[in-house]
């Protein structure tokens, strides 16, 4: 098993550009999450999904969109990038919340200039 695969690892965007962060897991987990990590702050939930075709907003969803067409894939789309979106992004998945551990992708360091 590869676990959670997240790409790219690094990206620099100009203000107003768009991009998609890819996240794929091969563990057949229904629950998937996107977090952002800002310096000195705890991880914040952007969006999550409890299964294919089902997504919901987290704590900081503005400026982002997600889709979940398959169990494996949970891409995060940034539209009209802004400097406030400069952060480190993590994708994660879990088999059963409250019963199992979380699996994280390796992270994407994004700078918007």
Partner 1 sequence: KNEVEQSPQNLTAQEGEFITINCSYSVGISALHWLQQHPGGGIVSLFMLSSGKKKHGRLIATINIQEKHSSLHITASHPRDSAVYICAARNYGGSQGNLIFGKGTKLSVKP
Residues that bind partner 1 (CB under 8 A): 31, 33, 40-45, 48, 50, 56, 58, 88, 90, 92, 97-104, 106-107, 109
Least Å distance between CB 21 and partner 1?
15
Closest to partner 1 by CB, 54 vs 80, is: 54
* Structure tokens, 11: 């990206």
> DSSP states of 46-58 as a string?
EEEEEETTEEEE-
Minimum distance between the CB of residue 25 and partner 1, rounded to whole angstroms? 14
Choice between 20 and 103, CB closer to partner 1: 103
Measured CA to CA in angstroms, residue 56 lies from 9, 11, 31, 101 at distances of 25, 25, 11, 21
Minimum distance, C-beta of residue 59 to partner 1, in the bound complex (Å): 9
The dihedral formed by the CA atoms of 55, 57, 62 and 67, expressed in degrees to the nearest 10: -10
Whichever of 14 and 39 has its CB closer to partner 1, that residue is 39
């Amino acid at each position: 098993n590869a676990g959670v695969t997240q790409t790219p690892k690094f990206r620099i965007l100009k203000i107003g550009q768009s991009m998609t962060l890819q996240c794929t897991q091969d563990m057949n987990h229904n629950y998937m999450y996107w977090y952002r990590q800002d310096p000195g702050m705890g991880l914040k939930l952007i969006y999550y999904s409890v299964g294919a075709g089902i997504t919901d907003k987290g704590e900081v969803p503005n400026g982002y969109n997600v889709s979940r067409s398959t169990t494996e894939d949970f891409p995060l789309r940034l539209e009209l990038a802004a400097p406030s979106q400069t952060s480190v992004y993590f994708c994660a998945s879990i088999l059963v919340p409250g019963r199992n551990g979380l699996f994280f992708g390796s992270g994407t360091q994004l700078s918007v200039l």
